[in-house]
Amino acid sequence: MVEKRDVVRQMTKEAWNAYAKYAWGANELKPLSKKPHQASVLGGVPLGATIIDGMDTLYIMGLHEEFKNARDFVAEKLNFDQVFLDQAVNLADRLLPAFNSTTGIPYSLINLHDGFTKQFSWSLDRCSILSECGTMHMEFTYLSELTGDAKYAKVVNTIRESVSQIPRPNGLFYNYLNPRTGSWCGQNAGLSALGDSFYEYLLKEWIRTDGADIQGRQLYDIGLQALFNNGVFKKSAADNLFLGSYHHGTVNSVMDHLACFAGGMLALGSSGPNDVWFDRGIRITNTCRLSYENTVTHLGPESFEFGKNIEAVPIRKAHKTHLLRPETVESYFYLWRFTKNPIYREWAWDVVQALISYTNTSTGYSGLIDVNRLQKNWDDVQQSFFIAETLKYLYLIFSEDTLLPLDRWVFNSEAHPFPVHNRVILGDTNWPKLHPLTKQPKPVMPPSQSSISSHRPPPLPQSV
């Protein structure tokens, strides 16, 4: 496995060095054009997103020179003294105006210079998005613990309370929320782009706090069961389990690659291999693997459909892209850790080989326009999450479990590891910085989530 892990490490060096040569300080790289890629959700502002997003991957892989260059960029170009913690505080403080709604539900977009907020023009009734509302909880509560300032935890706990108190027709958490009225907008739900990480963070904040965030776990269980009860978990004609999207009482037969993370999440949140949710996680991951097998490049499409004589294949043009996404290999990672079934390493290696064969441009890695086409097929974007997530999970699959063990670390939605402990702060401002872990009774934890003996967050992992 060392040889395969080293191949992934070399891919990371190639992707990083190409970015450093042609787009340093920009958000992402256009590998074919050999220039920066700025058009993104970040608003075109050069924030060094690839640097910030990929730093921990460099550290984990032992790419120390590259890591030092990244750290120096943060220290010198972003002008922070304590570098990482100060960077986090500065960014969080600039984000806080987004929470200034009547309900505490944040607006989707904010100008970090002047604090002006607005919504996406395409969002339903200009409402906020469920996944965005939930996908700050780990970061903000952890920042409160590190700084001793409860204001960060307070804003995300307000979101949690607001969302939990909205009446849920059919038990569902809908994908859009009105930040002014605290009500749902429309009736759309699922584990794809607009809902996915809301559920993920409910579970992972419970894990991060070593079971102390009981509300998070309860809402996760309630939300998943509601999705199941309303038909979001569907069986195809060939008995493949997939995740559709709920819309006003009906569920479509299209699964997004983004939802492929759910296989790993369901296993992580289960009580073990005999849990029905563990089995569902395996089956969903098998379906995502099928979507890779069904393409000419053996790389997964952005979305894939099911129907009469159709099993996990992309039909529409927009569904045929491959953006170097991590979700499928993320599930391979969790299922490898939990089952030790060698098939997940075999599938991960297939992905590595396909990425090398079809996305390597020699000046970085590019997404594909069509997973069923071999020529003139690059989209000319090396996404920041390729280094931060896709390559990280592939590297970990071929590494020993002692590198970021899951009883000590939990990954956020962008694959950044957080230390696990057993206390969550919900308003108390009188706790010490890096407080000792309290001894509390533990609920049943997910597979491999055993007790932590240390009284401080675990040390940074050593590369192997």
Residue type for 115, please? G
- 132, 145, 302, 305: the catalytic one is 302
Q: Taking CA 59 as the corner, what is the angle to CA 435 and CA 461, rounded to the nearest 5 degrees?
A: 45
Q: Is 302 a catalytic residue?
A: yes
Q: Tokens standing for 453?
A: 């003996």
**What is the DSSP code (8-state) at residue 453?**
-
Sheet harboring 250-251: ordered strands across? 188-189, 246-247, 250-251
Give the whole-angstrom CA distance, residue 372 versus residue 100: 46
Q: Is residue 413 annotated as involved in ligand binding?
A: yes
The residue type found at 376 is K
- Of 180, 172, 178, residue with least CA distance to 199: 172
Question: What stretches of 148-213 show up as alpha helix (H) in DSSP?
Answer: 151-165, 196-208
Dist. CA 284–CA 287, nearest whole Å: 5
- Residue with the two structure tokens 């995502």: 288
SS3 418: strand
C-alpha distances out from residue 9 to 95, 219, 345, Å: 34, 38, 16
Element (H, E) at 110: strand 109-110
What is the chain's alpha carbon radius of gyration, rounded to the nearest angstrom? 21
DSSP 417: E
Contact 442, 211 (CB under 8 A): yes
Q: How far apart are CA 154 and CA 162, in angstroms?
A: 12
Q: Where are the alpha helices (DSSP H) in 194-307?
A: 196-208, 214-229, 262-269, 276-293
Torsion sign, CA atoms 291, 292, 293, 299: positive
Q: In DSSP terms, which residues pair with 28 in a beta bridge? A: 37
Tokens of 331: 């599930």
- How far does CA 441 lie from the centroid of its chain? 29
DSSP per position, 18-64: HHHHHHTTSSEEETTTTEEE--STTTT----HHHHHHHHHHHHTT-H
Per the structure block, which two tokens stand in for 302?
Answer: 């952005």
Instruction: Name the binding residues for Ca(2+).
Output: 413
Active site residues per annotation: 302
